[in-house]
Amino acid sequence: MADIDRKLANGATRIDFQTDPARYRHWKLAADGDVATLTMDVDEKGSLFEGYELKLNSYDLGVDIELADALARLRFEHPAVRVVLLRSGKPRVFCAGANIRMLAGASHAHKVNFCKFTNETRNSIEDASENSGQRMICVVTGSCAGGGYELALAADHIILVDDGSSTVSLPELPLLAVLPGTGGLTRVIDKRKVRRDRADVFCTTEEGIKGKRAADWRLVDEVVPNSKLEEVVKTRAKEFAAKSSGAKDAKGIKLAPLDRKFSPDGVEYGFVSVAFDRAGRLATVTLRGPETPPPADVNAILAQGAAFWPLQIARELDDAILHIRANEFDVAAIVFKSSGEREQVAAYDALLEKHRGHWLAREVRLLWKRVLKRVDLTSRSLVAIIEPGSCFAGTLAEIVLAADRSYMLVGQLAGGNLPPAAIALTQANFGSYPMSNGLTRLESRFLDDAATVKNAQAKIGAALDAEAAEELGLVTFAYDEVDWDDEIRIFLEERASFSPDSLTGMEANLRFGGPETMETKIFARLTAWQNWIFQRPNAVGEEGALRRYGTGQKAAFDTKRV
């Protein structure tokens, strides 16, 4: 089957991660007081690419882009929602998982990016439950297989109808010779605490498990006869809503569409610019600080809505990173720069800190946490350049701390009239944006070195020049004008010359030191095992399981273990 990455079904030339409910083809979102219902009703003809149909509520990246958008709108547009019911709009099927024809025809890069995005989206469900008080109840009617069960696993509570045919399953290994999405395996063991031997049976049983056994094995939370299903769903929704810590009676803000301008060599947003150097295999992302002082109070923040600078730039950066991931596979390194006033950036951090108990300030910071994690998990070399005129302070300084390398100019460039480069830390750098490993980026940077983190914390609010930043360990190198251009050029040329596969492995290992969490397990396994298995002939070869699925021909496996 041909590579489908260049055959977008809608005739577009790129994958677009922006959508809104008026354009949904696969989901229905309805909010009623403190309960919302998110219904999966996939349009068979609405595939992102040509060459397959989305039968049986199966999904591709386009379906998950809509889901991610719906989840974001629940948090910002419907903050009073305390319970989300996840249901199927199809009879006799909940979700058949990732579309197999799509996987069989997709390039390797698309498959891995697809898996990464779906896992990030499922993580956002769990984040909403833990931090926004939006608990999710998944109501499984019909077959719930593969990625469909992974979606259910992200919920707080799974109700399975006991009708003799509804099942949950992770059938990828026996059917397709691939892992059950890594997040499926990890959540079954780490989250639902399913016994290892039972998990082994479950993951190798293609027809799945139903009824009482599914509940006894902890694969679901309860099994309910069809005659009592709606009564039980209503009762559980009330119970979960009563226990939720969500923002009761809060009025949301509208997430207006992003204003973007695409050109052959870049993308321009309100506060973010992306410029591509295709010969050098570089993407330069420039973040611009706020143009006005922060609003006076929470009411003024609400009035600004999606135009509130920290919210707007977070959404723009997220879209830019996803665009690079999905459409610019040849980019070797992302170079981050910034421009603006550090003091203004720090002032917005202070405003969010002052009103951290308000639902909107909380959601803006939680969005930044997710966007920064997306940056961490992007398989490109990350480089921060701190020059005169930069505004890497507080929240934006997290980009410097996320980078694999950072370079800071000592003094000024000849002919420049901007003051020497400086960075600044705020309270936001010390707990607001934990990484996937549960640590701040400073704690990850200085593992088991609390004294150094404390030294950095003592400098909150100070303008740290290149020498001070290097001494504190906040940047990799500080160079004066004599060495500046050559050192950066040599590094970027060297990076572009290395094997992208080995760089991906190295970077993924180095970025997440410290404790292992469910998140780090999911993405480490995705980077290593799923990445590897998706290239093995047993899965994607001409005689592999993915290629032969549905043809009536049995897959031919190379039986040697490696």
* 21-243 shares its CATH topology with 270-511: yes
Would you say domain 270-511 falls under CATH 3.40.50.620? Answer: no
User: Which residues are within 8 A (CB) of 509 and not within 5 positions of it... i.e. 6 or more apart?
Assistant: none
Measured CA to CA, the distance from residue 389 to residue 377 in angstroms comes to: 28
Out of 3.30.470.20, 3.40.50.2300, 3.40.50.300, 3.90.226.10, which CATH number does the structure's domain 21-243 have? 3.90.226.10
Sheet holding 477-479, edge to edge: 261-263, 266-268, 272-277, 282-288, 333-339, 381-386, 405-409, 477-479
Do 384 and 399 meet the contact criterion of CB atoms below 8 Å apart?
A: yes
Amino acid sitting at position 188: V
Question: What is the Cα 202 distance to its own chain's centre?
Answer: 27
Q: What is the pLDDT of residues 537-551, one digit of tens each?
A: 999 899 999 889 889
Q: What is the pLDDT of residues 56-112, one digit of tens each?
A: 999 999 999 999 999 999 999 999 999 999 999 999 999 999 999 999 889 989 998
> Rounded to 5 degrees, what angle do the CA atoms 162, 164, 166 make?
65
Angle between helix 359-376 and helix 309-327 axes, rounded to 10 deg: 30
Q: How many Cβ atoms are within 10 Å of 7's Cβ, its own excluded?
A: 13
Q: What pLDDT shows up at residue 399?
A: 98
End-to-end CA distance of the chain: 27
Rounded to two decimals, the pTM is 0.96
CA–CA dist 52, 98 (Å, integer): 12
Whether the CB-CB separation of 195 and 217 falls below 8 Å is answered with yes
Cα 389 → chain centroid: 30
- What pLDDT is recorded for position 190? 95
Q: Phi first, then psi: what are they for 237, rounded to 5°? A: -60, -45
In three-state secondary structure terms, 533 is: helix
User: How many residues make up the chain in this entry?
Assistant: 562
**Domain ranges within the chain, ordered by starting residue:** 21-243, 270-511
Residue pointed to by tokens 């997430």: 255
**Parallel, antiparallel or unpaired: strands 35-40 and 27-32:** antiparallel
Strands 93-95 and 222-225: unpaired
* 190 burial type by CB count under 10 A (0-12 exposed, 13-18 middle, 19+ buried): middle
- Cα separations in angstroms, 164 against 161, 213, 254, 364: 9, 12, 43, 45
DSSP per position, 198-228 = HHHHHHT-TT-EEHHHHHHTTSSSEEEEGGG
Q: How far is CA 403 from the centre of its chain?
A: 17
Residues 335-368 as b or e (16 or more Cβ within 10 Å = b): bbbbbbebebbbbbbbbbeebeebbbbbbbbbbb
Give Rg (Cα) of the chain: 24
Residue 2: predicted pLDDT: 40
Specify the pLDDT at position 330: 95
Residue-level pLDDT, tens digit, the chain, 562 residues: 344 444 788 888 899 999 999 999 999 999 999 999 999 999 999 999 999 999 999 999 999 999 999 999 999 999 999 999 999 999 999 999 999 999 988 998 999 899 999 999 999 999 999 999 999 999 999 999 999 999 999 999 999 999 999 999 999 999 989 888 778 999 999 999 999 999 999 999 999 999 999 999 999 999 999 999 999 999 999 999 999 988 888 999 999 999 999 999 999 999 999 999 999 999 999 999 999 999 999 999 999 999 999 999 999 999 999 999 999 999 999 999 999 999 999 999 999 999 999 999 999 999 999 999 999 999 999 999 999 999 999 999 999 999 999 999 999 888 888 989 999 999 999 999 999 999 999 999 999 999 999 999 999 999 999 999 999 999 999 999 999 999 999 999 999 999 999 999 899 999 999 999 999 999 988 888 878 888 889 998 999 998 898 899 999 999 988 7
Amino acid at 520: T
Alpha carbons within 13 A on the beta-carbon side of 300: 11
Beta strands, E only, 306-460: 333-339, 381-386, 405-409
**Tokens for 484?**
């500046």
Question: Are the C-beta atoms of residues 407 and 475 closer than 8 Å to each other?
Answer: yes
Residue labelled with tokens 């499926």:
184
Residue 230: Cβ within 10 Å count: 11
Question: How many angstroms separate the CA atoms of 396 and 287, rounded?
Answer: 8
Q: What's the Cα-to-Cα distance from 426 to each of 224, 308, 318, rounded to whole Å?
A: 51, 19, 22
Q: How far apart are CA 506 and CA 528, in angstroms?
A: 11
DSSP-based three-state secondary structure for 263 = strand
